[in-house]
Amino acid sequence: MIDLNLIKQNPEIFKKTCQQKRITNFDIEQTLALDQERRILIQQIENIKQQKNAASKKIPTLNGDEKQKVLAEMQTIGKNQKELEDKLAQIEKTMNYQLLRCPNPCSDKTPEGKDDKENKELYKWGELPKFNFAIKDHVQLGKDLDIIDMERGVKIAGSRFYFLKGDGARLEMAILLYTLDKLVKKGFTPFIVPLLVGYEAMMGTSYFPGGEEQAYALGVDRKTDGHIESDGKYLIGTSEVSVTSYHRDEILEEGDLPKLYCGYSPCFRREAGTYGKDTHGLYRIHQFQKVEQVIICKNDDEESEKMHQMILKNAEEVLQDLKLPYHVVAVCTGDMGQGQFYKNDIETWMPSRNSYGETHSCSTFHEFQARRLNLKYRDKDGKVKFCHTLNNTCIASPRILIPILEIYQNQDGSVTIPEVLRSYMGKKEKIEKKL
């Protein structure tokens, strides 16, 4: 959530940010008008309180009709106060809802653009593979090697679901465990997180309001022993939600920062509005697994930049260890989320697409999420400030299986297992078709 004082001081900046991020559901003028009305109501309520205090001191000195007259006046004033307080509560509720939709301004480094086609490539790593045989895509490889079953996934759960089996399941677990081990060696604390969270966690990490249609909700009322129950829970789309919310409503100590956390979790997204887009194979599916880096650090722009580069490089190192070619892009204004101050995507080469495909995202939020989560720290001078937060996908599967299977495929139909993963797969070197 944005500090209202910043909006009042610099409304044009936030109007520009709404245009840049294509946010149409935040009305700055309405918010400022509500704030003006709120301040008038607060003053009116304070005036009534002063009248009541003065009257309470005066009443004991009065008798007869004069006393009854003042008591009647106080009763009327009390009713007016209740009406004003109810009106104030409604205005503050509307204002808070508006402020939850206010976007975070972008970094000066963020390129202008309408969508992901206008993201700016910053650099590349690795040589693109060359094949002297007709290649298969990951779906065909998975079917031939009996490690991916899309048809039965759809039969059991519907479109965009799948089974990984045999060495396909082992390969995914190997990638996730390798990434976790790598981060632990770098000082990260691993988490296995709640997959179901309340509205406050989704709101605090800025997925709600506005992203409800992308989340699977378990809020359907049902009868149990004659009573109506409602779960009111949401399946997370990333462990960022649970891990960033871990210290909600807490005051940390500056000496304990930064917090280096990594969360493993299955993730769930409805992908509403993307029907017909990237529907082939494992690229855009409803259920996947991730290891997510989450950083909580002090409120300092240089510190945030340092942390951003660190977690971005951690993800790059995993791809380099896997020897997968990739490039890093600066995400443009129109492709950024509401709360992101700066964002990089890593896109890995996928031969069947003949292009790079997004596999990682790295985001800096400054204090945007911390304000919503009431996440603070006490600095060395004793002053309490909001933290800065960042996150980055260190690995996400099964999407990462696309470049691994396609780049490591062999002419005989087998797939070579990346060297760094072999110890996690019983020292196996290849995935081969069973005879």
Just list the catalytic residues.
Answer: 269, 284, 358, 361, 399
The separation between the first and the last C-alpha atoms of the chain, rounded to the nearest angstrom, is: 59
The amino acid present at 195, given as its one-letter code, is: L
Complete DSSP assignment for 321-385:
HTT--EEEEEPPGGGS-TT-SEEEEEEEEEGGGTEEEEEEEEEEEETHHHHHHT-EEE-TTS-EE
∠ Cα 9 12 17 (to 5°): 115
Cβ atoms of 204 and 369 closer than 8 Å: yes
- Closest by Cα among 419, 417, 409, 425 to 139: 409
Planar angle of CA 55, 56, 62, nearest 5 degrees: 75
Q: How many CA atoms lie within 13 A of 190 on its CB side?
A: 17
Q: Which of 289, 348, 359, 304 shows the shortest CA–CA distance to 324? A: 348
Task: Check: CB of residue 244 under 8 Å from CB of residue 204.
Answer: yes
Residue 220, classed as helix, strand or coil, is coil
Beta strand residue intervals within 166-281, DSSP E = 189-192, 196-197, 217-218, 222-224, 227-229, 233-235, 251-253, 259-268
Token readout for 92 is: 């503050």
Question: Cα-atom radius of gyration of the chain, to the nearest Å?
Answer: 27
Q: Which residues contact 36 (CB under 8 A, 6 or more apart)?
A: none
Give the whole-angstrom CA distance, residue 206 versus residue 193. 18
- 321: alpha, beta or left, given left = phi > 0 and alpha = psi -120 to 50? alpha
Q: How far is CA 21 from CA 28, 107, 199, 212, 338, in A?
A: 15, 12, 24, 18, 7
